[in-house]
Amino acid sequence: MKLLRPISMLAGLLMAAGGAFAQVPTTPPAPIPTAPLPESKPAAKKEPAKETAKEVPKEIPKPKAPVAAKKPAATPTPKPAAPAPVPSPSPTAAFEDPNVDAIYGAYQRGLYKTAFDLATTRAQFAGDAKAMTMLGELYANALGIKRDYAKAAEWYQRAADAGDREGMFALAMMKLSGRGGPPNREQAVKLLASAAKLGNPKAAYNLALLYLDGQTLPQDVKRSAELLRVAADAGNPEAQYALATFYKEGTGVPKDIDKAVRLLQAAALADNVDAEVEYAIALYNGTGTPKNEVAAVALLRKAARQNSPIAQNRLARVLVSGQGAPMDKVEALKWHIVAKTAGKGDPELDERLADLSPEDRARAEAAARKWTGATGK
């Protein structure tokens, strides 16, 4: 199956918050006890991951601490000369050391007011683009200052004009969403292209989605694949997962299961939940990688605890069959109920778990209620 179905699913959903790429099934579900785990099916209205402008570059210089002048050796004189007047430091003197990162350090520690004050001084007196991007970030997310999208857009624009790729990306996302002014997808595309050219992987990823969507830009799956490769090579896990889907289906690139699985592995190691599920299924079935049921079940457990309904369903199948993990029908029913609550029903599991005793069923139902209550489902 080609990627036409996910492309149509993305048509009205681009840039919305949520999961990563829609997953495409290639094999139908098979009997639980002996068959490999079925691959995941695309969830209804599954949306591509939205990149946010919350990451601020770590290159912002830190104010250089003033160094006290070394006192000369005392000279025995009847009347010591008065000390020479010390000139006041210039506004930019505190920012001469580019190797220290006081602004970003304050931001990371949650000292947003300090970060705001330092960034304001540096942006105004030193014209530093990174500090401008930081101010946009603080205004956009109400960190240490009242939220003001118009001011955020203004600072991002100044940073973009000064050549900062992070400011370009952040401003592009604001223009796509209509925050800080009316939506302007044409300007957003130009900003994303400029940021991607300067090496911003999030910009390359989102530009790839626009080429895949075919609304803002003409649909071009080959160009989309090229941009995804740029972002994936830079370590962007959403791009790695999306490109894996391309290789899996042969969309925009030659079909290559081995490359797909390697990309899934990289994205899974970066905690992309959708990739964890797909890579776990590949490990369990030995598809494009040596079979390893124990590692696969561990990944399924991790993804299930991160509220992936597909992982919860596949984990329930494993626990019912006792393949790759000890059989535990109570735990299996718990995850089956949780997955069903999220819309991932499974009639086969209903049948396989029908013989549980009332006591065991009550235990599983209580555990499922506790889980869904704790996670807010």
CATH of the domain at 179: 1.25.40.10
Domain count, the chain: 2
Task: Tell me: do 193 and 277 sit in the same domain.
Answer: no
- For residue 125, name the pLDDT band (cuts at 50, 70, 90): very high
Q: How confident is the model at residue 53 (pLDDT cuts 50, 70, 90)?
A: very low
Query: What confidence category does residue 35 fall into, taking pLDDT thresholds of 50, 70 and 90?
Result: low
Last residue in a domain, options 176, 198, 220: 198
Q: Please check whether residue 245 lies inside any domain of the structure.
A: no
Which of 154, 183, 198 is at the close of a domain?
Answer: 198
Expressed as residue numbers, the domain containing 134 is: 93-198
Q: What is the pLDDT of residue 374?
A: 75
More confident residue, 84 or 214: 214
pLDDT band at 377 (very low <50, low <70, confident <90, very high): low
pLDDT of residue 270: 97
Does 157 have pLDDT greater than 90?
yes
pLDDT at 95: 39
187 and 289, same structural domain?
no
Residues 6+ apart with CB under 8 A from 254: 247
Q: What pTM was computed for the model? A: 0.73
Rounded-to-integer distance, Cα 176 and Cα 351, Å: 47
User: Per the domain annotation, does 224 fall within a domain?
Assistant: no
Shared domain for 276 and 370, answered yes or no, is yes
264 domain-assigned? no
pLDDT at position 234, please? Answer: 96
Tell me whether residue 333 is in a domain.
yes
The Cα–Cα gap between 24 and 355 comes to 33
Q: pLDDT of 62-83, one tens digit each?
A: 333 433 444 444 444 444 444 3
Whether 192 and 280 share a structural domain: no
- Label each residue of 95-132 as H, E or C: HCCCCCCHHHHHHHCCCHHHHHHHHHHHHHHHCCHHHH
Q: What percent of the chain has pLDDT over 70?
A: 74
What pLDDT is stored for residue 133 in this prediction?
A: 96
Check if the beta carbon of residue 183 is closer than 8 Å to that of residue 169: no
pLDDT(45) > 90: no
Tell me what pLDDT residue 79 has. Answer: 46
Tell whether 279 and 377 lie within a shared domain: yes
- What CATH number is given to the structural domain containing 333? 1.25.40
Per the structure block, which two tokens stand in for 226?
A: 């090229």
Task: Assess if residue 74 is contained within a domain.
Answer: no
Span of 9-18, 66-75, 145-154, 281-290 with lowest mean pLDDT: 9-18
Instruction: Give the pLDDT band (50/70/90) at residue 33.
Output: very low
pLDDT in tens, 159-213: 999 999 999 999 999 999 999 889 999 999 999 999 999 999 999 999 999 999 9
Same domain? For 360 and 278 the reply is: yes
* Residue 112 lies inside a defined structural domain of this protein: yes
Q: How many Cα atoms occupy the beta-carbon half-sphere of 145 within 13 Å? A: 22
pLDDT in tens, 304-358: 999 999 999 999 999 999 989 999 999 999 999 999 999 999 999 999 999 999 9
Cα(39)–Cα(310) distance, rounded to whole angstroms?
Answer: 9
Q: Considering the chain, what is the average pLDDT of its residues?
A: 80
Is residue 122, in this structure, part of any structural domain at all?
A: yes
Shared-domain flag, residues 194 and 275: no
Residue where a domain terminates, one of 198, 217, 242: 198
Tell whether 277 and 372 lie within a shared domain: yes
Q: Residue 117 falls within a domain, yes or no?
A: yes
